[in-house]
Chains A and B, each alone.
Chain A
């Protein structure tokens, strides 16, 4: 016990940690283990065949492609929004700042039907795009739009505090030494916020890959074309194909765990970079 925990005068360690572990095990860890144990009932070739059918592979391509494009969009515009909110003043700034978190607070189903109504052929935005030959609703572009919406706050909220903490002295020094604003941004500011930017990107990507509610309304859900991986799990469940659903879920879980590991490493890097700065 001595090597496990340092001595403290405060009481309640055993009770607090015991309850924490019990609760986590019952709610999170044992059910998650169920997915892996159920999959172990399949042989390796069976498992591999289930998770690599053409329809499943098409769903990975869509899920990862759209998630990556959405996270990239959010990295670019999220950085811009964070910059504008930290550095500039404009009317309504506080309101805009408060509304950034809307995608966190708005239930995904509500976002899903709202985006679908907007981008459908007769919707506010859809009727502007339709004459240009761009169809968004019920196509893979719709998936991208929904994933961009739900990932919007991540980059803004990870970059914003780092930008706020940057001391302007370095920028002043760079300007004194003859750098223009773009050079100062690329050489001084961007390296400082880069770990936070990457963290935000990874968080948005992780969220997008698992997303379901906002996507299914706008996607059209055509097999091989606009069907995301989480929907495929549900389809298999509805056909009572528990083994198939679980095998795909395990693939998604492994990807989530790898992303979680990367996010933790990025956050550690970000903290270290800021501590040094």
Chain B
């Protein structure tokens, strides 16, 4: 190391000076992997192990019995309503925030993030306070024979609440980076607002949009606390998949609980796979945006 020539540092010497000795590196990698194994990999593996422990027959019986199928159907219904609504909201919010300059913008961004910092249990509770029998709209709803709390609408509302920020917060930084030039050019050339949105903006943000949808979808299907407060836990009618897992578990029907849980774990793994793929696309998109900017400058 004493013979380093500062005028012509070789590649290996350059690396050596800002890198730790090999034994330090391997110890750090070892500790990191041990921590991740203990807290991530073992719990993940154990879900599938416990699910299949009693055999494939028990497994398939658990996920195809009527209550499980009803839970799957309800989870899909709530997600199919919550995700598109939050998609429209995300695009509208990102359009207003990134394409225009107005006062109070930062407050609005903070408000959009608000559901992330509210406990899921509190999220469920506030809907009980509005729509429950003791709530503001409770008496009126009862008079008209409408049920929100302990029924499907409450589950849908709670799911929407906890997933409000997902798509908006993916789109805002992306659209901010892309600027407004392309949209302005389209409008000046005679396109109307919808044409501009459809033909210019959406193609530019498609990967970011997909990324947001995937995360929103995963959370919508997996939400537990908020949905638990408003559901009423009626088997076969107001039980989502995560609530069904809870009921089976509390009945000491562990094999069935883990079988249904393994469906959700599988969903999580698929989400992560798509997310990793889309992430590389988003990075590419940001990269091309940067290249375009550089070309404008030159």
A residues at B contact (CB < 8 Å): 3-6, 8-13, 15-17, 19-21, 23-24, 27-32, 34-35, 38, 77, 80-81, 83-84, 87-88, 90, 94, 96, 98-111, 113-115, 117-118, 124-125, 145, 148-149, 152, 168, 171-172, 175-176, 181, 184, 206, 209-213, 217, 230-231, 233-234, 237, 242, 245-246, 249, 252-253, 256-257, 259-260, 263-264
Q: Given A212-B120, A253-B118, A260-B114, are A9 and B32 also a contact pair (CB < 8 Å)?
A: no
Verify if B64 is at the interface (C-beta below 8 Å from A).
Answer: no
CA separation between A6 and B100, bound complex, in Å?
7
Partner of A11, one of B29, B187, B243: B187
Interchain CB contact under 8 A, A104 and B215: yes
Interchain CB contact under 8 A, A28 and B119: no
- Minimum distance in angstroms from B28 CB to a CB of chain A: 6
Interface residues in B80-110 (C-beta closer than 8 Å to A): 85, 88-89, 92-93, 95-96, 99-103, 108, 110
Interchain CB contact under 8 A, B29 and A84: yes
B residues at A contact (CB < 8 Å): 6, 14, 17-20, 24-25, 28-29, 31-33, 35-36, 38-44, 46-47, 50, 85, 88-89, 92-93, 95-96, 99-103, 108, 110-115, 117-122, 125-130, 132, 134-136, 157, 160-161, 164, 180, 183-184, 187-188, 192-193, 196-197, 215, 218, 221-225, 228-229, 241-243, 245-246, 249, 254, 257-258, 261, 264-265, 267-269, 271-273, 275-276
Interchain CB contact under 8 A, B222 and A20: no
Interchain CB contact under 8 A, A77 and B125: no
Q: Given A9-B187, A105-B268, are A209 and B119 also a contact pair (CB < 8 Å)?
A: yes
- Residues of B within 8 Å of A80, CB to CB, are 28, 31-32, 35
A interface SS class = helix
CA separation between A209 and B174, bound complex, in Å?
30
Interchain CB contact under 8 A, B40 and A152: yes
Interchain CB contact under 8 A, B112 and A210: no
Interchain CB contact under 8 A, B100 and A13: yes
Q: List 7 A-B contacts (CB under 8 A).
A: A5-B102, A12-B197, A80-B28, A83-B28, A88-B28, A108-B224, A110-B47
